[in-house]
Chain A
Amino acid sequence: MKEEHRWGWPVAFYLFLGGLGGGMTALAGLSDLIFGRGEAFSLGSLIGGSAIAVGSALLVFELGRPFQFWRVLSRQRAIMTAGAWMLSLTIFTSVAHFSFWPGFSPWQQLVGLRHLVAAINIVLGLGVCVYTGILLGSLRARAFWNTPILPVLFLVSGLSTGAAGQSLVAGAWPYRGSAVDVEAVHAALRSLDLTLVVFEIMVLFLYVLMMRLAAGKVAARIAATWLAGQKSLAFWGGVVVLGLAAPGLLYVFSSAAAHAAAPVLVLIGGLVLRFLVVFSDERAELPGESQYYSRLPKPDALFLKAWD
């Protein structure tokens, strides 16, 4: 079959950065609004917003006409339009949430306003995490994406990478608490991410297993390449062992080195997972299609170049 991965590595990177940024932003908002610990997580809000900005930039340069990107905001009722609006808004609101903490903004005393921004960030952050799953999951032409569990997987993975990202930066500037406080924040993040990693293992196995057993022929074939085939090394090695099982164990151990390594592994696992999903975009074959395209001349054939 003609290989046609229409969405390439920029989209995979964006899916990862969007999940990471959405998760970090939502967790920062949550910690401020519900636990009153916003300051410790505030740098994560800035970094999450930056991750979303970088991811959105990758998306823009993936476009055929990057300078027309603003048109993506123009239509109602398309999932991608909703997503583009959420991305654009989250970039601003996450930075806005951060701006209450470093001590130079005139509005830093307005706690009510800060809580409002935090609440908006929770909604937008979760939205950014999950809408990509809805976008891919709604494409009925792509058998391996077209399942209601994909948004769930992206949500759990986004929150898990978000918690890992927060583990790396929480408690740093502009937080002014004691070292004991910082350690308490990190302990909370570890148990949160451990929970999310366990959930993600379950959701991921349900996804691949149900695709293998209960979906159509194309999806079953792709699931087989994940479980024991072309993509099995990335799936078992990159996602399951390196990205989920290993950090899960490291979170349980109580050495400082293990605690520093685990979030990095979670991030790597999240990235590999997005690559696996994006490159599993095969569609059902039309009668005689693969035979036809395999016999077409290669794009660099001499007589084709002579034509140009």
Chain B
Amino acid sequence: MDTRRCIGCHACTVACKVNNELPIDMIYNPVFTHGPNGVFPHVSMTFYPHLCMHCKNPPCVGCCPTGASRQEADGIVWVDRNTCIGCKACIQACPYHARHPNPRTGTVQKCDFCMERVREGLEAFCVQTCHQRARIFGDLDDPGSAVSHIVRSMNTLQLLPEVGTDPQVYYIVSPGGQV
């Protein structure tokens, strides 16, 4: 996530909702506005585009009593709607508000990085639609990928690292090199 590029247009939120056909009150990837902070003339405002952090140590997977909540070998965390019983333990376990109960189906659902599209080599809807290229997607395990390069070389932060889940979404927060 490049917070220097994000202009807070919420196009990713809309693209996700429309293409994943989410219920009207469910948002996988909000864009939070942090600020304005400081006192004039020294003010700043940052947009934080969100999605599931697809943590390396996902607490939502270990607490699931049915095994519906899982992590794939490539790191994607998702929920199998056939075996989810809606106990909401994973919602309590998630520090990022990335899991949403659906009262119609009775199950919990979440951002799955558009798993089916990514497997076909396509981009997730939110990444595809971002005209500022603020959402940068790639393989962090591949040292040659653009995202690996960014995380190695730029000033990035993870949200709530103290919870210890090792989120796999990094935010570029201040001037560094260009991609």
Contacts and interface: CB of A to CB of B under 8 A. Distances in A.
A287 interface: yes
B11 to A, nearest CB: 16
Nearest to B87: A63
Contact of B92 (A63, A84, A142, A216): A142
Contacts of A307: 24
Given A142-B92, A284-B160, A64 B108 contact: yes
B65 A72 contact: yes
Interface stretch (A48-56, A133-141, A199-207, A231-239): A133-141
Kindly state the interface size class of chain B when it binds its partner. 35 or more
B179 interface: no
Contact of A138 (B63, B85, B86, B101): B63
Interface string A127-151: 0000000011011111000000000
Q: Is the interface of B mostly helix, strand, loop or mixed?
A: loop
Contacts, number: 123
Contacts of A216: 162
B65 A78 contact: yes
Given A64-B103, A80-B63, A292-B33, A71 B88 contact: no
Contact of A286 (B32, B68, B86, B108): B32
B113 interface: no
A304 interface: yes
B93 interface: yes
Contacts of B64: 75, 78, 80
Contacts of B138: none
19 contacts: A6-B101, A64-B84, A71-B85, A72-B66, A72-B85, A80-B89, A141-B92, A216-B162, A283-B95, A286-B48, A286-B50, A287-B32, A288-B46, A288-B48, A289-B97, A291-B33, A292-B30, A292-B33, A304-B24
